[in-house]
Structure 1
């Protein structure tokens, strides 16, 4: 596992709010383990038709993966029109957790508490079947830990229809904001209320599919729902 500090390049060094940057790579790993959705930014088309595109996707991270700094696996389809573009150049992947709303004493200082990672680099198409199967299992377990071990193996048809991209985690940055507002002294003295509203993702009770009525909820699904509910 790579333990080198984050922000190894100018591209992943913040130009604003540098005091919120986190250099510990373990903090990046923790965020990647907790979140469930990544957004991939790329440029599609060419010439006057070129335009930016940001797509949400399922993902999983393997700090011990074969890429520089570990591997960020992105789930996709071989039929996706953007796939050739992604493989031909650089992408920007962002993963963010919103932890709170910050209500300041002025509009200027209203903010949010968050943990946000940016990963830059050129992805590769995972073609080795062993690595591809493992990556897809990691994506499943990102949503429900332990779920992949209870399911049937991926079929050849499913593997052929699914694209898995691996992005090195070497070039990444992490910014974190926590706590209340940072207000100006005159605004504080005016007696206006300031503070923050904590936010968290919670889960309800598992809901059985119509074809699964009467089938017990699997232990890993129940554990995932309980863990999220406990937040």
Structure 2
């Protein structure tokens, strides 16, 4: 698959000019982002929770696999298993300041993934997924850690969501003002926003220098558009 919106529920209908149809752009955004928000109905109300995540484009699910994890005791994990969930990832790239309140906006890249969440029960896949989540935060980190203990694995659940059903929107550039507002004068523009990782702060009880994989800056793709 090279295009997005393969189903009616992930087809962009409003603001179609901001829709991104290239699946590679979705993959780039998911590689760039650090926090996903998972939406699921728990009991009689919806819940949207922030979570770390990882993506395996060659994973076993249709279109690749998005993994999230949590405590086996978490109520939302039980509610999400086997049901349709929504996972969103958004990167803020700028504040758009127009000449009217109506035309103020943001520059952003945002993805919505909809699919049936699968509880990962295969031990090898669970370990790969948990390592991938660690490496998504700090590439190469998992190889430097001790293996997870049986107790830790027993306390942790992993959910897999197929990447097949997804949509993406993006905005870039300055404001789009009404001609009359432009003619009336006044300042307008946009304020770029970027994520900055400061140097690592070593724990008081840690030994040795900061590892190279932590010192290396995280690669961030350029915004779409």
1:124 Cα shift?
A: 0.4
Matched positions, count: 220
Match of 1:128 in 2: 122
Q: What is the aligned counterpart of 1:221 among 197, 208, 214?
A: 214
- CA displacement, residues 135-160 of structure 1 (integer Å, 9 cap, x when unaligned): 11110011001101111111111111
Contact 1:93–1:119 (CA under 8 A) maintained in structure 2 = yes
Q: CA RMSD in A?
A: 1.2
Contact 1:58–1:139 (CA under 8 A) maintained in structure 2 = yes
Match of 1:174 in 2: 168
Match of 2:151 in 1: 157
Contact 2:97–2:189 (CA under 8 A) maintained in structure 1 = yes
Whether 1:56 aligns to 2:50 is yes
Task: Tell me the TM-score normalized by structure 2.
Answer: 0.95
Q: What is the aligned counterpart of 2:197 among 199, 203, 206?
A: 203
Q: What is the aligned counterpart of 1:42 among 37, 40, 43?
A: 40
Matched residue SS, 1:102: strand
Write the distance in 2 (CA, Å) between the matches of 1:224 and 1:87.
Answer: 35
Match of 2:6 in 1: 8
Contact 2:61–2:162 (CA under 8 A) maintained in structure 1 = yes
Write the distance in 2 (CA, Å) between the matches of 1:85 and 1:4.
Answer: 32
Write the distance in 1 (CA, Å) between the matches of 2:141 and 2:8.
Answer: 39
Matched residue SS, 1:164: strand
Match of 1:110 in 2: 104
Matched residue SS, 1:121: strand
Whether 1:96 aligns to 2:90 is yes
Whether 1:80 aligns to 2:74 is yes
Matches within 5 A, 1:127-146: 127-146=121-140
Write the distance in 2 (CA, Å) between the matches of 1:61 and 1:30.
Answer: 11
Write the distance in 2 (CA, Å) between the matches of 1:130 and 1:115.
Answer: 33
Matched residue SS, 1:210: coil
Mark the runs of 5 or more structure 2 residues left unpaired by the alignment. 221-225
Task: Quickly say closer, same or farther: Cα 1:90–1:19, change in 2 above 3 A.
Answer: same
More helix by share: 1
- The list of structure 1 runs, each at least 4 consecutive aligned residues, that deviate by more than 4 angstroms after superposition, is none
Task: Tell me the TM-score normalized by structure 1.
Answer: 0.92
Mark the runs of 5 or more structure 1 residues left unpaired by the alignment. none
